[in-house]
């Protein structure tokens, strides 16, 4: 019930392409869905987050799409750049101060 499944495990995208990472959750009590970006040797940093009252949220080149009925959400990175190369984690939680459950991570490599 607490799991968050993430795919793919790794992704190679050409510069300028679209990177797409997918996640699925089971717990219907989850109400907050953040994406974290992690560079080697650093802690996760919040990239963008969504709540289930909207189906899409866009911030710059990053877009979250959310499908509440399917219990799935995805991150799209438009015009991917080499500087986007990092590990991306989706997460989900009840919201507020409560813990988030992380997905297994996607290692993205953007090649020039």
Residues lying near another protein in the complex (CB under 8 A) are found at 32, 34, 36, 41-46, 49, 89, 93, 95-105
CB nearer to another protein: pick between 15 and 68: 68
4 neighbors 92 (Cβ within 8 angstroms): yes
CB nearer to another protein: pick between 33 and 110: 33
CB nearer to another protein: pick between 17 and 27: 27
Q: How far apart are CA 74 and CA 66, in angstroms?
A: 7
- Partnered with residue 65 across adjacent β-strands are 56, 74
Least distance from another protein to the Cβ atom of residue 77, Å: 20
Least distance from another protein to the Cβ atom of residue 103, Å: 6
Output helix, strand, coil percentages for the chain, rounded to the nearest 5: 5, 55, 45
């Amino acid at each position: 019930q607490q799991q968050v499944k993430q795919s793919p495990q790794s992704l190679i995208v050409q510069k300028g392409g679209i990177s797409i990472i997918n996640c699925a959750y089971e717990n219907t009590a989850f109400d907050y869905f953040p994406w974290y970006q992690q560079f080697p040797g650093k802690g996760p940093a919040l990239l963008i987050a969504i709540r289930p009252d909207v189906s899409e949220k866009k911030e710059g080149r990053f877009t979250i799409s959310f499908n509440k009925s399917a219990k799935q959400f995805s991150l799209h990175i438009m015009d991917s750049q080499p500087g986007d190369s990092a590990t991306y984690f989706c997460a989900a939680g009840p919201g507020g101060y409560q813990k988030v459950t992380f997905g297994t991570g996607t290692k993205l490599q953007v090649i020039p």
